[in-house]
Amino acid sequence: MGLLEVDRLSVGIGRLTLLEEITFEVDRGEILGLVGESGSGKSLTALAIAGLLPLIGARVTAGAVRFDDTDLTRLDEYRLRKFRGRRIAFITQNPMTALDPLQPVGEQVDVVARLHLGLPADVARSRTIEILTQLRIPEAATIYRQYPHQLSGGMKQRVVIAMALAGEPDLIVADEPTTALDVTVQAQIIHLLTSLVRERGLALVLITHDMGVVAQCCDRVAVLYAGRLAEQQGVRSLFAAPAHPYTHALIDCIPKDGMARGSLTGIAGSVPSVAHFPSGCRFHPRCIGRQSVCEASVPAATALPGGAVACHFPLNGDARHG
């Protein structure tokens, strides 16, 4: 049993279905990477876990999000709020705009602890400074009083992480936490998140489109394509032997040492929009190994050792290395 179990979750807006039968789980001390191109439904999955779909006018149409044996999709807004920030913390996409510009950053961390842990203001304050220090923010007491515009992107992201940690959650859902940061800061933030998971036994759902980040820190990986789960595996086997052609193509998109100039390939075409999802396997128009059956029927998920793949012709070991 995982701490978080997303079970055949479907999400829709109006008559459109955006996510279909997404299934994965995460346990304490584990990092699950949720990968896929822009528009594949990663952020939507994150919003669904945090119960924030109403923000964008979407809703869960089927399935369950079980957290510690509670189905979050059945809770009302009031009860959900007890989970958000306290048990499940949500780190939004862009650190540059994730902080209220009019409040000193330290206070924004305080508020979370005061709301969820009921700490008095002065205790919350010293605790905030303590957390900021643990996140390797120099002169935390000074930073505490600063406004977001006075901090660099990396500092802001650390404050955002501090906000997430302030309620002592069990699960963190981080939606592309490093997208807006430069590479060196990215590495620091990822390292920070990884060590938090290992030291505190947190569960982390890390949403990213950066396969390099996935390879570095995730334990397991779920690959999303056009609102469906393409493949899910342990990180080693996924990189060593991707079963879904999409995963294979994504891995091929990572630049490697010793590559000839100009040999880095992308994936032809782009993720289809919700209104124009292709029939059958949604990846078939872009797949190099497509057959007529791919266009005709939706591939069911088949089990792999430690995972699953939804493909009519999963790549076997040989092809995977080929």
| Site residues, another protein (CB under 8 A) | 50, 52, 55, 81-86, 89-94, 97-104, 106-107, 110-112, 115-116, 120-122, 124-125, 145-147, 149-150, 160, 163-164, 167
Residue 78 tokens, joined: 């009031």
Q: Which is nearer to another protein, 49 or 229 (CB)?
A: 49
- Residue 308, φ and ψ in degrees, nearest 5: -155, 160
Considering Cα of 293, then 297, then 298, then 300, what sign does the dihedral take?
Answer: negative
How far is C-alpha 33 from the chain's CA centre? 6
**How close are the terminal C-alpha atoms of the chain, in Å?**
36
Considering Cα of 101, then 104, then 109, then 114, what sign does the dihedral take?
Answer: negative
Q: Which is nearer to another protein, 90 or 246 (CB)?
A: 90
CB of 287 to another protein, least distance (A): 34
CB of 11 to another protein, least distance (A): 16
- Rounded CA Rg of the chain: 20
CB of 49 to another protein, least distance (A): 10
Q: Which is nearer to another protein, 91 or 185 (CB)?
A: 91
Q: Are 76 and 24 in contact (CB under 8 A)?
A: no
| 74 Cβ neighbours under 8 A, 6+ residues apart | 64
The strand pair at 203-208 and 171-175 is best described as parallel
Question: Distance between CA 192 and CA 217 in Å, rounded?
Answer: 11
Question: Distance between CA 49 and CA 65 in Å, rounded?
Answer: 6
CB of 93 to another protein, least distance (A): 7
CB of 291 to another protein, least distance (A): 42
Q: Which is nearer to another protein, 50 or 235 (CB)?
A: 50
Which residue in the block uniquely carries the two structure tokens 């995972």?
307
Q: Which is nearer to another protein, 97 or 273 (CB)?
A: 97
The DSSP secondary-structure symbol of 219 reads S
Q: Which is nearer to another protein, 161 or 241 (CB)?
A: 161
Question: Distance between CA 213 and CA 187 in Å, rounded?
Answer: 8
Residue 218 tokens, joined: 């995730």
- Residue 281, φ and ψ in degrees, nearest 5: -70, 125
Q: Which is nearer to another protein, 47 or 249 (CB)?
A: 47
CB of 73 to another protein, least distance (A): 16
Q: Which is nearer to another protein, 146 or 188 (CB)?
A: 146
Considering Cα of 129, then 140, then 104, then 156, what sign does the dihedral take?
Answer: negative
CB of 38 to another protein, least distance (A): 17
CB of 60 to another protein, least distance (A): 16
Which residue in the block uniquely carries the two structure tokens 């510009």?
101
Q: Which is nearer to another protein, 92 or 233 (CB)?
A: 92
Q: Are 131 and 192 in contact (CB under 8 A)?
A: no
CB of 55 to another protein, least distance (A): 6
Length of the chain in terms of residues written: 322
